[in-house]
Structure 1
Amino acid sequence: MKNNAVVIHPQDGVATAIIALRVGETATMFIGEQEISVVLRQEVPFGHKFAIYDVPLHGEVYQ
């Protein structure tokens, strides 16, 4: 599968879209050597960040 997002640091909780992504599209990226996929719940414009896991209310996000 072609990667369409990047994670800068393995501890990050966000990825950056390297193309514009649509609702329902699958974002794929590598965290270290592991490829992961996330189905998007909202549109993510090119260059914007999005959470790669569910963040609890008042939870911390590392970016």
Structure 2
Amino acid sequence: MVRDFTSESLSHDPIHGYIPFTSRSGLPSDEVSEQELIDHPWVQRMRHIHQLQTAWWVFP
């Protein structure tokens, strides 16, 4: 089923360009938006994890 979402945000990625994701407004109350998943503390804790942590110390 296709729905029209009234609120959409954009995130810029250097490789893929702009990536759209749905925001909370415009969704029924029983559904979870993509922005809520991105803003969840379990996902946000990965913000400070780097694949090459020792290289990050040398080349911040």
Verify same fold: TM over 0.5.
Answer: no
| Bigger share in strand | 1
Instruction: Name which structure has the greater RCO, CA cutoff 8 Å, separation 6+.
Output: 1
| Bigger share in helix | 2
Q: Which has the larger radius of gyration?
A: 2
